[in-house]
Amino acid sequence: MSLLEQEVPGVVMTPDHIRSKKLPWPVDLGIAVVALAVSAAVVYGLGIGNWVLVVVLGVAFYLAGMFAAASRVEGRRSARNRLWKTLIYGACLLAILPLASVVWTLVSKGAARLDGDFFGSSMNNIGARDANGGAYHAIVGTLQQVGIATLMAVPLGVLGAIYLVEYGRGKFALTVRFFVDVMTGIPSIVAGLFILAFWVLIVSPWFNNGTPRFSGFAASLALTVLMLPTIVRSTEEMLRLVPGPLREGAYALGVPQWKTILKVVLPTALPGIVTGIMLAVARAAGETAPVLLVAGGAAAINFDPFSGNQSSLALFVYQQAGDASRYAPDRAWTAALTLVALVLVLTIAAKLLARRNRLS
Amino acid sequence: MAKRIEASNVSSYYGSFKAIDNISMTVEPKTITALIGPSGCGKSTFLRSINRMHEVLPNARIEGRLTIDDQNIYDSDVDVTAVRRMIGMVFQRPNPFPTMSIYENVVAGLKLNGVRKKSLLDDAAEKSLKSANLWDEVKDRLARPGAGLSGGQQQRLCIARTIAVEPQVVLMDEPCSALDPISTLAIEDLMFKLKDRFTIIIVTHNMQQAARVSDKTGFFSIDKTGEPGRLIEYDDTQKIFSNPAEKKTEDYITGRFG
């Protein structure tokens, strides 16, 4: 007897059995309701927990009940399919839940100080009893520090990746790639300490009559150290995804290698490269430690990133969240919301600019 | 315009692996030459050696002399990009540039080599697309992405792109293997048309195609896997397919080959 002739419901579809029964959706819903009810009865009846346990137990009951019912009606294979589908959807929901929660918390708590004063003033001369005060200085700091860091890290990172993918052969390229990997793991505080020891304490006195000086630029340097490996690695991956035949197509037209890279390879990989860069920018914008270490933080507005203390949004959040003033937490929440919104806007703008097919 | 190609004792390597051994053949201008043979016998490697595309792969190198109108293209003072502009290539799978429109694809070779003048580019685009039998199908949508065309159209777009830079030799590496019979016919017609202006060398697995289109045919083979490919017989297509001198050629053509 061949496999096709055996009549195992739901396992083998013989030409005579291409239809199968489906569990009707009201039954599915019924099982869910019953499972929740049973779980509520068990939990509250025994007094062993609250609604969270009811949901968890309810889901478990639902899975068991649904699997049993589907096995009976649809057969084991489709029952297993249903089970895994439910689990996968559940996992997806669980993953989105914290994200939605973060956004909700930020918006609901940050809305309190979302006013002109917050975006128009600094924390200069703001005491513990003052309800106003804002993050203007921190926004300026973040934009300048992250902007300068991006200007330094993007060309270096993209060119480095181009070297690794298109030109790098042999030991040197391997070594570079290895150290880029190592750099990926550098904690931000270490990058901050490195710039503190190297730039702030050794180099900056040359420009400041022998006295070390904090500056936003030092923070940019630390952020560059953090952004570089991310950009190199993501760009490298994207360049490797560009099919070889595209390069060969350009070579076969007599196009030199550098021009092939510039006009064919880079445009093809651009959307992915931009995504990688924006991830690095988002990470840099959220860094607190290096800014605290090498830019020092400040309460007043400082437009000059090359001299004097600067603050940043992340640092502002950190300082306000730890401040004893009863008005500080609101400022911290609004600053956090501003930071997230800023990164979101930048990311969307970059994605729009780099849309692959401006043609269609 | 079209040029004579002469290979003498050409051997190509991938690292230490010898892919083709000691190939010598002469291709006359304005003819179509077909290279046939089993997979892995070095036809494509030889083809890629003719416009120095072989060396794009890491560790690939070549020995011997390959001349085009008596200039050795492997001389140390030869500019690779000039060689490739003179000897164009069409690949097995259509590879239009995905970020460019149909128009930009056709003029890519000119534009990337520094031609700026709009009227010149427009003329070249129209002329090449017409030569490639594609103009009527795409003239109303030149600004659409080249990757949006069908497979056969994409391949003709790639041919248009190749002839837009006005090479003297066109190499085709199994240009029809991914295409349906109608597109194949279109490309074969196209090859007859292009024969007036270019020297064409085509690698193909389709023996009917080789018999239909080519003036001369070269049969490549290997003794067994790991051995380098060799040119077994090179003669008029007529002769190869009716009365081959070598037993191996006859076996391959009649389908008795292992």
Predicted pLDDT of residue A8: 55
Summarised one tens digit per residue, pLDDT across range B172-187 is: 998 888 778 888 888 8
Q: How far is CA A55 from CA A38, A61, A83, A87, A145, in A?
A: 11, 10, 17, 14, 46
User: How large is the average pLDDT for residues A334-340?
Assistant: 94
Per DSSP, B204 falls in state -
SS3 B189: helix
CATH match of A118-353 with 1.10.3720.10: yes
Does pLDDT of A155 surpass 90? yes
User: How large is the average pLDDT for residues A88-117?
Assistant: 93
User: How large is the average pLDDT for residues A283-289?
Assistant: 92
Tokens of A232: 């190199």
Give how far A165 is from chain B: nearest CA, Å: 12
Q: How far is CA B207 from CA B36, B201, B203, B211, B212, in A?
A: 7, 15, 10, 6, 8
Q: Rounded distance, CA B35 to CA B25, Å?
A: 11
User: How large is the average pLDDT for residues A101-119?
Assistant: 91
Domains along chain B? 5-95+172-253 (3.40.50.300)
- Residue A140: which pLDDT band, with cuts at 50, 70 and 90? very high
Q: Rounded distance, CA B81 to CA A255, Å?
A: 6
- Residue A354: which pLDDT band, with cuts at 50, 70 and 90? confident
Q: Rounded distance, CA A156 to CA A149, Å?
A: 11
User: How large is the average pLDDT for residues B20-24?
Assistant: 89
Helix extents (H) in chain B: 43-50, 80-86, 102-112, 118-131, 135-138, 151-164, 181-194, 207-213, 237-242, 247-253
Put simply, the chain A residues between 268 and 287 with a CB less than 8 A from any chain B CB are 268, 270
Least confident range from A168-172, B42-46, B113-117, B224-228: namely: B224-228
Burial of A89 (0-12, 13-18, 19+ CB in 10 A): exposed
Does pLDDT of A260 surpass 80? yes
Q: How far is CA A328 from CA A297, A317, B8, in A?
A: 16, 9, 83
User: How large is the average pLDDT for residues A147-168?
Assistant: 95
Does pLDDT of A10 surpass 60? no
Q: Rounded distance, CA B162 to CA B173, Å?
A: 13
- Residue A9: which pLDDT band, with cuts at 50, 70 and 90? low
CB B214 within 8 A of CB B237: yes
Q: Rounded distance, CA A106 to CA A93, Å?
A: 20
- Residue A136: which pLDDT band, with cuts at 50, 70 and 90? very high
Predicted pLDDT of residue B194: 86
Interface membership of A90 toward B (CB under 8 Å): no
Residue B11: how many CA atoms within 13 Å on its side-chain side? 11
Predicted pLDDT of residue A112: 86
**Residue B72 parent element (H or E):** strand B71-72
Going from N- to C-terminal start, the domains of chain A cover 3-111, 118-353
How many percent of chain B have pLDDT more than 70? 98
Summarised one tens digit per residue, pLDDT across range A35-46 is: 999 999 999 998
User: How large is the average pLDDT for residues B164-172?
Assistant: 91
Does pLDDT of A347 surpass 80? yes
Please indicate whether, in this complex, the C-beta atoms of A360 and B108 are within 8 angstroms of each other. no
Q: Rounded distance, CA A230 to CA A208, Å?
A: 33
Max CA distance (Å), chain A = 95
The residues facing B18 across adjacent strands are: B13
Does pLDDT of B133 surpass 50? yes
Predicted pLDDT of residue B1: 56
The yes/no answer to whether this complex scores an ipTM above 0.85 is: yes
Please indicate whether, in this complex, the C-beta atoms of B91 and A245 are within 8 angstroms of each other. yes
Give B-chain residues touching A243 at CB under 8 angstroms: 95
Give A-chain residues touching B108 at CB under 8 angstroms: 250, 253, 255, 263-264
Please indicate whether, in this complex, the C-beta atoms of A255 and B88 are within 8 angstroms of each other. no
**CA atoms B178, B184, B190, B192: torsion sign:** positive
Helices (H) then strands (E): counts for chain B: 10, 10
Q: Are strands B5-14 and B87-90 parallel, antiparallel or unpaired?
A: unpaired
Summarised one tens digit per residue, pLDDT across range B195-237 is: 888 899 999 988 888 999 999 999 998 887 778 888 989 999 9
SS3 B81: helix
Better pLDDT: A17 or A145: A145
Tokens of A271: 């959307």
Predicted pLDDT of residue A125: 86
